[in-house]
């Protein structure tokens, strides 16, 4: 609000005596602008390395919003770009809240997962937004266009660095052009909230390892093991050392009844992290499910001896394996 | 009549027997969520999350979403996300509308223009 007040004051001053005020406005804005749009000021110093001067993803479709439903419209736009055909109407029942006349950020992420995509919230950096666009991925951004409560989702589809402009699909405008400054001004009010929705075989160019893994795990929960299996494989190609991702891949295989594959993945993980209680437990369980309880027993005993936060789950697995063994002996 | 009941119960038992090993198998695996999250008190969190989920579904219903859909929508959220929005739905930003915004854009654009001059 302080920023808005500052602008209003400056505007009034400028109107009274444009020419004289010009000097004052320029002087105060040179210091003020960096704080109004710090990342734009940073970008002005030079184009970050590896980025093209201009990008526009012209193939990204446009769904004009109806009523207050910019959430479903923005989401449908991003989904379509990732090969999922859903209309805003299809998505209303997943992300729209009638009484609030709007859509929550977490539900935007969740709805993309339910379509089998990896939904990832970008780091709050203007540069990352540009990097995703340069890599061909449209980005959903949350802006606040009102004086207090004008929250609005739009989809960034391109930029022109020389002109300092961002290109968006927004509301009822198919090709909205906003200066970096104006966009940052309305975008920073959501703490630079931005998300991408990627097909499971792809990884966002700005993805951070641990947060991308959390996004894939969330996909496993909401989008099912089939998409998750693809996403974990892609993850492990990029970060092969990650044991947690191996656990996720094995869990997806297991949920699909692919016990041999689950076993192979877990054995590989056990070689790299021999003391992981989760790996030992899940490997023992997978062996037991194949009727190989005698092989499973020493593994689950090791997991039980290690204790730790998963002791309860391990105890149950061990109990079940012992019961199966005594049943077959009878 | 009696034999029809007996047959139904038999069928039910067969179905349950088919299901049982699968359910045990799923129960025996430690989920990826738990591997990824750093929470140590897994059991306690499960209870908290259950309460959180019911609570959030209730809030969604109060905001005009039918009960079945509300449950579905909450199921798609991670534990962490449920905890983020529990009790706060009414105060969170909800993207809505692009109208009524021109004033701000014009002001900002004017300042921008003055600055560039």
The C-alpha angle with vertex A306 and arms to A305 and A311, in degrees rounded to 5, equals 90
Residues with Cβ within 8 Å of A77's Cβ and at least 6 positions away in sequence, in order, are A60, A61, A62, A63, A138, A140, A155, A169
Question: Among A102, A143, A150, which would you mutate to test the B interface (most chain B Cβ atoms within 10 Å of its Cβ)?
Answer: A150
A309 close to B (CB below 8 A)? yes
Q: How many residues does chain A have?
A: 330
CATH code for the domain in which residue A311 is found? 1.25.40.10
* Whether residues A184 and A60 fall in one domain: yes
> For chain A, what is the mean pLDDT?
89
Euclidean distance between CA atoms A87 and A41, whole angstroms: 38
* Whether residues A138 and A186 fall in one domain: yes
Q: Are B108 and A185 in contact (CB under 8 A)?
A: yes
**Å between A27 CA and nearest CA of chain B:** 9
Q: Would you state the pLDDT for residue A113?
A: 95
A204 within a domain of the structure (yes/no): no
Which residues of chain A make contact with B28, given a CB cutoff of 8 A? 281-282, 285, 288-289, 313, 316-317, 320
Statement: residue A210 has pLDDT above 90: yes
Statement: residue A232 has pLDDT above 80: yes
Residue A189: DSSP 8-state? G
Q: Would you state the pLDDT for residue B12?
A: 54
Statement: residue A20 has pLDDT above 60: no
A329 vs B25, residue with greater confidence: A329
Show the tokens assigned to B60: 């969604």
Q: Are A156 and A57 in contact (CB under 8 A)?
A: no
**For residue B100, what is the nearest residue in chain A, using CA coordinates?**
A146
B97 vs A263, residue with greater confidence: A263
Q: Would you state the pLDDT for residue A78?
A: 95
Size of interface A-B (CB pairs under 8 A): 210
Which residues of chain B make contact with A26, given a CB cutoff of 8 A? 114-115, 117
Q: Would you state the pLDDT for residue B73?
A: 86
**Å between B88 CA and nearest CA of chain A:** 11
* Whether residues A60 and A29 fall in one domain: no
Euclidean distance between CA atoms B66 and A106, whole angstroms: 19
Which residues of chain A make contact with B115, given a CB cutoff of 8 A? 25-26, 29-30, 33
A284 within a domain of the structure (yes/no): yes
A109 within a domain of the structure (yes/no): yes
* Whether residues A134 and A18 fall in one domain: no
A48 within a domain of the structure (yes/no): no
Determine which helix (DSSP H) or strand (DSSP E) holds A152, and give its type and residue range. Answer: strand A151-160
Q: Would you state the pLDDT for residue B82?
A: 83
Statement: residue A227 has pLDDT above 70: yes
Question: What are φ and ψ of residue B80, in 5° steps?
Answer: -65, -40
**Å between B108 CA and nearest CA of chain A:** 6
Q: Are B90 and A149 in contact (CB under 8 A)?
A: no
Q: Are A68 and B96 in contact (CB under 8 A)?
A: yes
Could you give the 3-state DSSP secondary structure of residue A161?
Answer: coil
The ipTM assigned to this model is 0.71
A103 within a domain of the structure (yes/no): yes
Cβ–Cβ gap A186/B104 under 8 Å: yes
* Whether residues A233 and A129 fall in one domain: no
Each residue's pLDDT, cut to its tens digit, for chain B (117 residues) gives 456 666 665 555 544 444 433 333 356 888 888 888 755 445 545 555 666 778 888 888 888 888 888 888 888 888 778 878 887 788 888 876 655 455 566 667 777 777 766
Which residues of chain B make contact with A218, given a CB cutoff of 8 A? 78, 81
**Å between A207 CA and nearest CA of chain B:** 16
Residue A97: DSSP 8-state? B
Q: Which of A29-33, A37-41, A110-114 shows the lowest per-residue confidence on average (mean pLDDT)?
A: A29-33
Show the tokens assigned to B88: 């706060």
Which residue segment(s) compose the domain that A286 sits in? Answer: 209-329
* Whether residues A228 and A295 fall in one domain: yes
* Whether residues A75 and A103 fall in one domain: yes
Average pLDDT score over residue span A286-315: 93
* Whether residues A116 and A181 fall in one domain: yes
Residues with Cβ within 8 Å of A315's Cβ and at least 6 positions away in sequence, in order, are A304
Euclidean distance between CA atoms A284 and A240, whole angstroms: 23
Determine which helix (DSSP H) or strand (DSSP E) holds A114, and give its type and residue range. Answer: helix A105-114
* Whether residues A191 and A261 fall in one domain: no
Determine which helix (DSSP H) or strand (DSSP E) holds A159, and give its type and residue range. Answer: strand A151-160
> Nearest-CA neighbor of A255 among B59, B88, B31?
B31
A291 within a domain of the structure (yes/no): yes
Determine which helix (DSSP H) or strand (DSSP E) holds A225, and give its type and residue range. Answer: helix A225-238
* Whether residues A194 and A247 fall in one domain: no
Q: How many domains, chain A?
A: 3
**For residue A104, what is the nearest residue in chain B, using CA coordinates?**
B94
**For residue A22, what is the nearest residue in chain B, using CA coordinates?**
B114
Of chain A residues 213-242, which have a CB less than 8 A from chain B? 213-214, 217-218, 220-222
Q: What is the pLDDT of residues A47-68, one digit of tens each?
A: 999 999 999 999 999 999 887 7
**For residue B85, what is the nearest residue in chain A, using CA coordinates?**
A106
Could you give the 3-state DSSP secondary structure of residue A232?
Answer: helix
Statement: residue A26 has pLDDT above 50: no
Q: Are A115 and B65 in contact (CB under 8 A)?
A: no
For tokens 């062996």, name the residue.
A287
Statement: residue A128 has pLDDT above 80: yes
DSSP string, chain B: -HHHHHHHHHHHHHHHHHHHHHHHHHHHSPPHHHHHS--S-HHHHHHHHHHHHHHHHHHHHHTT--HHHHHHHHHTS-HHHHHHHTTTGGGS-EE---SS-HHHHHHHHHHHHHHH-
**Using CB atoms, which residue from A29, A146, A288 is nearest to B101?**
A146
Cβ–Cβ gap A10/B111 under 8 Å: yes
Beta strand pairing status for A103-104 and B94-95? antiparallel
* Whether residues A234 and A188 fall in one domain: no
Name the residue ranges covered by the structural domains of chain B: 1-30, 36-91
Which residues of chain B make contact with A317, given a CB cutoff of 8 A? 28
Cβ–Cβ gap B95/A186 under 8 Å: no
**Å between A159 CA and nearest CA of chain B:** 18
**Using CB atoms, which residue from B36, B63, B92 is nearest to A98?**
B63
A41 within a domain of the structure (yes/no): no
Average pLDDT score over residue span A145-168: 91
> Nearest-CA neighbor of A106 among B22, B59, B98?
B59
A79 within a domain of the structure (yes/no): yes
Q: Would you state the pLDDT for residue A221?
A: 87
């Amino acid at each position: 609000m302080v920023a808005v007040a500052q602008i209003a004051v400056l505007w009034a001053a400028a109107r009274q005596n444009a020419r004289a005020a010009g000097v004052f406005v320029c002087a105060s804005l040179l210091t003020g602008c960096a704080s109004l749009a710090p990342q734009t000021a940073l970008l002005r110093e030079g184009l970050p390395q590896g980025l093209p001067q201009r990008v526009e993803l012209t193939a990204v479709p446009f769904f004009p919003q109806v009523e207050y439903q910019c959430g479903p419209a923005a989401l449908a736009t991003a989904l379509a770009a990732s090969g999922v055909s859903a209309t805003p109407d299809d998505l209303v029942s997943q992300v729209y809240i009638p009484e609030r006349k709007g859509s929550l950020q977490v539900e935007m992420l969740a709805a993309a997962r339910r379509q089998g995509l990896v939904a990832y919230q970008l780091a709050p950096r203007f540069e990352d937004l540009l990097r995703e666009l340069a890599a061909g991925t449209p980005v959903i951004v949350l802006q606040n266009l009102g004086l207090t409560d004008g929250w609005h989702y739009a989809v960034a589809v391109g930029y022109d660095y020389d002109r300092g402009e961002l290109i968006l699909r927004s509301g009822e405008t198919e090709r909205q052009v906003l200066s970096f400054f104006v966009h940052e001004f309305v975008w920073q009010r959501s703490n630079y909230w931005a998300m991408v929705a990627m097909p499971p075989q792809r990884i966002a160019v700005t993805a951070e390892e641990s947060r991308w893994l959390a996004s894939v795990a969330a996909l496993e929960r909401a989008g099912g093991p089939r998409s998750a299996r693809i996403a974990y494989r892609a993850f492990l190609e990029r970060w092969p050392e990650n044991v947690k991702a191996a656990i996720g891949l094995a869990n997806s295989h297991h949920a699909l009844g692919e016990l041999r594959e689950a076993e192979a993945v877990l054995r590989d993980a056990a070689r790299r992290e021999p003391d992981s209680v989760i790996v030992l437990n899940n490997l023992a369980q997978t062996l037991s499910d194949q009727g190989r309880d005698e092989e499973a027993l020493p593994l689950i005993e090791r997991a039980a001896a290690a204790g730790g936060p998963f002791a309860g789950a391990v105890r149950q697995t061990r109990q079940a394996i012992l019961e199966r063994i005594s049943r077959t002996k009878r | 009549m009696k034999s029809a009941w007996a047959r139904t119960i038999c069928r039910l038992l067969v179905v349950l027997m088919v299901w049982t090993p699968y359910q045990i198998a799923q129960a025996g695996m430690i989920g990826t969520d738990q591997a990824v999250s750093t929470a140590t008190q897994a059991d306690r969190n499960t209870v908290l999350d259950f309460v959180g989920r019911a609570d959030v579904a209730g809030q969604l219903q109060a905001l005009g979403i039918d009960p079945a859909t509300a449950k579905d929508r909450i199921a798609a959220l991670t534990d962490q996300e449920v905890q983020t929005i529990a009790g706060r739905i009414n105060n969170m930003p909800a993207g809505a509308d692009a109208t009524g915004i021109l004033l701000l854009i014009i002001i900002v654009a004017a300042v921008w223009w003055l600055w560039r001059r």
